Amino acid sequence: MSTVDGTTAFFAKADKYLMGTGVPYSPLVITKAKGTRLYDADNRSILDFTSGQMSSLLGHSHPEIVEVVRQYVAQLDHLLSNMITYPVVDLAERLARFLPPPLEKSFFLNTGSESIEAAIKIAKCYTGKFEVVAFAASYHGLTQGAGSATYTAGRRKGGPCMPGQLAFPAPYAYRSPFRKPDGSYDWETEMDFGWSMIDRQSVGSLAAFVMEPILSTGGILDLPKGYLKRMTEECRKRGILIIMDEAQTSVGRTGKMFAFEHDEIVPDILVLSKTLGCGLPLASVSTTAEIADGCKEAGFLWLTTHLNDPLTAAVGNKVLEIVERDNTCQRAAVRGAQLREGLIKLQQKYWCIGDIRGRGLLQGIEIIADTKTRAPGPDLGQAVSDRAMALGLSCNVVNLPGMGGVFRIAPPVTVTTDEIEEGLAILDEAFAYVLKAWTI
């Protein structure tokens, strides 16, 4: 059977036995992933500029991670959830060394959605309140509590959201209507407006504000300098706990261990996932001793089948060890600067690139269809993404209401200088090809 026939048969089987979840399948069948490369059924090499699902921070099949998995699968994989183990305590201790005071208490789960659910419950238990605020361009997951705090997608056909959900204007500098007389982004006035709306809507039971330091799925919205500090002050005035969702921005990707460190603030609850497990299902919830004690007194309960699993904890411990040992934060900052410089050159070359934004190795390219109106260009962005894949580059484009097609460029932090240049060259070729066809 030829590869083409085999692929056709594969997708026919997939259509028959897999239920669709609203996410269209990639036309490629990936059979191997190694380092920064994916390989399809024809053994064609594809440079991965999305780190899998934004998770494979150290690349695919990192040899040290593979060895840890091999060891713990054979030795200590899974136990009753109340049986804590050395890998779990070691990971909690190592993570605490990176956490800024007073964050010091952690536990470990599987996914970002699950950890956001736990963080929201912690905030509700500790404060005794129930209202949760999130950005209008937020994405925190699609389980009930996390999905209720998600405003970019998934809100239709799911029934009532959790009570007390309030949306806050997302800091979208490129498209915000809030402008100073000189045309620059007036985020201070926008924030005042946002809080005035929250204060009017709230019934006096504000428990938490769930936020990302860079809104990733919402379009790589990098917060203006001073934004998080002012936001923290406003939350403190109202007795609101800050839940920081660093699923995609943590463990060095933006040039700091945690992206909130760029603004010198400390959240009340920190949630990690994706990058912490380097592609394996691992998430963490960290908070202060005071909040942990308050939750204990309130009778907080969080019990899941894979709470504090030893195997994934051992992986997370190794990830943090490698990140510290190999000076990954600095590496991400240097490679990110190279990537950013190359993207700006592409912006100067191609009219459809409306905006470049992000930090470190998490960069965004917003595609527009008209330079005067800045009309979103999701179809154009998808065409560039498809062409890049055909040329050997996997780069994710997010098409959501209210924005253009926004590329999330997030290669593993192990990416080399030459691979950055290779990816930029493929993007250059993809833009040139698509725009030529677009104007015919």
Q: Point out the residues that are catalytic.
A: 139
| CA 375-379-384 angle, 5° bins | 110
Partner residues linked to 287 by β-bridges: 105, 269
- Phi-psi sector, 31: left (phi>0), alpha (psi -120 to 50), beta: alpha
Any idea which residue has 């004690």 for tokens? 293
What is the amino acid identity at position 176? S
**Ordered strands of the 165-168 beta sheet:** 103-109, 283-288, 269-272, 241-245, 206-211, 131-135, 165-168
Q: Report d(CA 97, CA 86) in Å as an integer.
A: 17
What is the amino acid identity at position 39? Y
Q: Which two tokens stand for residue 192?
A: 């005042």
Q: Using alpha carbons, select from 96, 93, 74, 97 the residue that is nearest to residue 84.
A: 93
Give the CA distances from residue 181 to residues 117, 176, 178, 184, in Å, rounded to whole numbers and listed in that order: 42, 14, 10, 7
| Helix H or strand E encompassing 189 | helix 187-201
Q: Please give the DSSP secondary-structure letter assigned to residue 261.
A: G
Task: Say which residues have a Cβ less than 8 Å from residue 331's Cβ, sequence separation at least 6.
Answer: 252, 413
Task: Say which residues have a Cβ less than 8 Å from residue 201's Cβ, sequence separation at least 6.
Answer: 166
Q: What would the 3-class secondary structure string for 340-351 be?
A: HHHHHHHHHHCC
Q: Which two tokens stand for residue 92?
A: 């909690």
Q: Which two tokens stand for residue 11?
A: 């997708």
